[in-house]
């Protein structure tokens, strides 16, 4: 890019494509504010963009392949004379470094996950002169000097400041807001790239989190989701004082106007009894936990370095149901981890059945370069077997989910209306004689509820009597009195 383009496009049209987890989605939302503050325009039509940004995910090969194919297309468009700046952000950048730009000529900017606050300047740099513009997080595998450690802390704070000053009008949908409370992961599950690309665990200051939640609530966001790679391992030290996750929850829950407080994703090992007790004690903490099991086989859990036995996982589910009787539990599973036998696979099915998960996210094992399992273990489960096991776990989970959802038929549930249902969005919503359309919303247990009501109820809390259910949704009728 050159100065000419800079003059022609003082305000750039920026297209952002985001892959991956909640963390990435939040990062992209923060980028929107940063870029708008520089008067750039965020657009949804990729073809009209001056700047294309990919906020990438490295968790599985499939997510990376998608980006490689986009970068191939961008190279062709550039070769055809289209003047665009292409920026790759996030986990793939940290995993691959400058190699990514060497292999894909379209790339102008490489920006690691902890450096995103620098992106507006990096776009200016890329606009002003040809050549690759990069900003990487320090590598985790090297020993860091005191200065580097301080820099890591400053970079994290820089994004925290953005979190605190962000404009909720841009960031949040309806009445929901997301707040990051910690970053990184120190668990090193053998299959997982996250500790390498997202760096060490760092918890934000409780005062900064409280201020941000308060700000969001004051601006009308009554449902707040706390996010972190292993959100419940949150721990902040200040001199002698330590704030644990349960204490943070107890600080936030009394905030006036905070109607629902949620958190994702939890690690089973850190799900201590004090957290369950705080969830029980505050009625506005949602009875919903996402605690990935990953496998129902003790042998595989060990090979995955998950840090818990099957018995300990079962005990957690039992304790959760005893402490919070209406708790809704969601899990993740990986099928086809190296060495997984049919017996191990059957054990995962059993775990889904006895834990009665509302939902499980099921993934085929994907060896990630640099991880322990990729280095030391043979990816010995053939792709067809992974596919079959994936389908079988999905089938079992579907049966369990159907039963789970059916138990709500006949009950009245509180629903936060999030907007038009998928059906209404696809077809032009046809309103009924009294102006009703098909709406959707969420319960405190994160069930999707479909019902007919006036669209003006979007963002409001209503009561819905559940009349029917399938494995994914509850269906019901709006109760007259709220």
**Residue numbers at the binding site for ligand SF4 (CB under 6 A):** 185, 187-189, 192, 194-195, 229-230, 267
* Minimum distance of ligand SF4 from residue 292's CB (angstroms): 7
- 90 interface partner picked from ligand SF4, ligand 5AD, none, CB below 5 to 8 A per type: none
Say if residues 12 and 123 touch (Cβ distance below 8 Å): yes
Say if residues 293 and 333 touch (Cβ distance below 8 Å): yes
* Minimum distance of ligand SF4 from residue 273's CB (angstroms): 20
Q: Of 200 and 339, which CB lies nearer to ligand SF4 in the complex structure?
A: 200
Considering only residues 178, 191, 245, 308, which one is a binding residue for ligand 5AD as defined by CB under 6 A? Answer: 191
User: Which range of residues in 359-367, 379-387, 396-404, 405-413 is near ligand 5AD by CB under 6 A?
Assistant: 359-367
* Minimum distance of ligand SF4 from residue 94's CB (angstroms): 14
What single-letter DSSP state applies at residue 131? Answer: S
* Widest Cα–Cα separation across the chain: 69
Instruction: Give the angle 230-172-114 at the CA atoms, nearest 5°.
Output: 45
Q: Of 189 and 303, which CB lies nearer to ligand SF4 in the complex structure?
A: 189
Query: Any contact of residue 292 with ligand 5AD (CB under 6 A)?
Result: yes
Q: Of 166 and 262, which CB lies nearer to ligand 5AD in the complex structure?
A: 262
Strands 109-111 vs 85-90: parallel, antiparallel or unpaired:
parallel
Strands 241-244 vs 235-238: parallel, antiparallel or unpaired:
antiparallel
Q: Of 40 and 306, which CB lies nearer to ligand 5AD in the complex structure?
A: 306
- Map residues 375-414 to x or -, x wherever contact with ligand 5AD holds by CB under 6 A: ----------------------------------------
Q: Of 24 and 33, which CB lies nearer to ligand SF4 in the complex structure?
A: 24
Q: Of 126 and 185, which CB lies nearer to ligand 5AD in the complex structure?
A: 185
Say if residues 253 and 284 touch (Cβ distance below 8 Å): yes
Q: Is 32 helix (H, G, I), strand (E, B) or coil?
A: helix
Residue 269, CA distances (Å) to 279, 308, 309, 428 in order: 17, 6, 10, 47
- 227 interface partner picked from ligand SF4, ligand 5AD, none, CB below 5 to 8 A per type: none
Q: Is the peptide bond before 265 cis (omega within 30 degrees of 0)?
A: yes
Considering only residues 53 to 92 of the shown chain, the ones binding ligand 5AD according to CB under 6 A are 59-60
CA 28, distance to chain mean position in Å, is 11
| 275-307 burial: b if 16+ Cβ within 10 Å, else e | bbebbbebebbbbbbbbbbbbbbbebbebbebe
Q: Is 456 helix (H, G, I), strand (E, B) or coil?
A: helix
Length of the chain: 482
Query: Any contact of residue 294 with ligand 5AD (CB under 6 A)?
Result: yes
Considering only residues 15 to 54 of the shown chain, the ones binding ligand 5AD according to CB under 6 A are none
Considering only residues 41, 314, 332, 471, which one is a binding residue for ligand 5AD as defined by CB under 6 A? Answer: 332
Instruction: Give the angle 58-64-66 at the CA atoms, nearest 5°.
Output: 145
Measured CA to CA, the distance from residue 152 to residue 200 in angstroms comes to 10
User: Which range of residues in 68-76, 133-141, 247-255, 363-371 is near ligand 5AD by CB under 6 A?
Assistant: 363-371
Query: Any contact of residue 334 with ligand 5AD (CB under 6 A)?
Result: yes
- 334 interface partner picked from ligand SF4, ligand 5AD, none, CB below 5 to 8 A per type: ligand 5AD
Measured CA to CA, the distance from residue 405 to residue 206 in angstroms comes to 36
Q: Which residues bind ligand 5AD (CB under 6 A)?
A: 59-60, 191-192, 292, 294, 332, 334, 363, 365-366, 368
């Amino acid at each position: 890019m050159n100065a000419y383009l800079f003059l022609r496009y003082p305000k750039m049209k920026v297209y952002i494509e985001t892959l991956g987890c909640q963390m990435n989605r939040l990062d992209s939302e923060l980028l929107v504010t940063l870029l708008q503050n520089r008067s750039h325009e965020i657009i949804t039509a990729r073809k009209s963009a001056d700047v294309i940004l990919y906020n990438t995910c490295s968790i599985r090969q499939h997510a990376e392949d998608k980006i490689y194919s986009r970068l191939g297309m961008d190279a062709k468009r550039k070769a055809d004379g289209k003047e665009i700046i292409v920026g790759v952000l996030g986990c793939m950048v940290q995993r691959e470094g400058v190699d990514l730009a060497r292999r894909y000529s379209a790339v102008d900017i490489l920006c690691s996950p902890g450096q995103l606050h620098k992106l507006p300047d990096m776009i200016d740099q890329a606009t002003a002169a040809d050549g690759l513009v990069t900003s990487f997080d320090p590598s985790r595998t090297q020993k860091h000097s005191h200065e580097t450690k301080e820099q890591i802390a400053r970079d994290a704070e820089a994004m925290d400041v953005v979190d605190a000053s962000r404009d909720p009008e841009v960031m949040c949908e309806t009445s929901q807001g997301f707040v990051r409370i910690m970053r990184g992961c120190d668990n090193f599950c053998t299959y997982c790239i996250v500790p390498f690309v997202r760096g060490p665990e760092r918890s934000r200051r409780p005062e900064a989190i409280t201020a941000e939640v308060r700000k969001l609530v004051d601006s009308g966001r009554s449902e707040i989701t706390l996010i972190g790679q292993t959100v419940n391992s949150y721990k902040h030290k200040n001199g002698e004082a330590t704030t644990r996750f349960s204490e943070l929850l107890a600080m936030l829950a009394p905030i006036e106007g905070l109607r629902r407080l949620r958190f994702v994703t939890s690690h089973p090992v850190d799900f201590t009894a004090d957290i369950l007790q705080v969830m029980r004690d505050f009625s506005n903490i949602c009875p919903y936990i996402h605690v990935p099991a990953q496998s129902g086989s003790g042998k595989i859990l060990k090979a995955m370095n998950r840090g818990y036995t099957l018995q300990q996982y079962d005990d957690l589910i039992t304790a959760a149901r005893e402490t919070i009787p209406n708790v809704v539990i969601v899990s993740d599973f990986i099928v086809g981890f190296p060495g997984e036998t049919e017996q191990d696979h059957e054990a995962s099915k059993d775990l889904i059945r006895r834990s009665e998960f509302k939902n499980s996210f099921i993934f085929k094992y994907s060896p990630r370069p640099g991880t322990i399992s990729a280095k030391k273990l043979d990816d010995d489960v053939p792709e067809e077997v992974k596919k079959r096991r994936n389908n079988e776990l999905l089938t079992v989970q579907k049966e369990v989910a159907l039963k789970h959802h059916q138990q709500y038929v006949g009950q009245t549930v509180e629903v936060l209306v999030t907007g038009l249902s998928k059906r209404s969005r696809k077809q032009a919503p046809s309103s009924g004689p009294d102006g009703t359309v098909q709406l959707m919303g969420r319960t405190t247990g994160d069930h999707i509820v479909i019902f007919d009501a006036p669209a003006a109820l979007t963002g409001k809390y209503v009561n819905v009597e559940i009349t029917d259910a399938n494995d994914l949704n509850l269906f019901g009728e709006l109760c007259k009195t709220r």
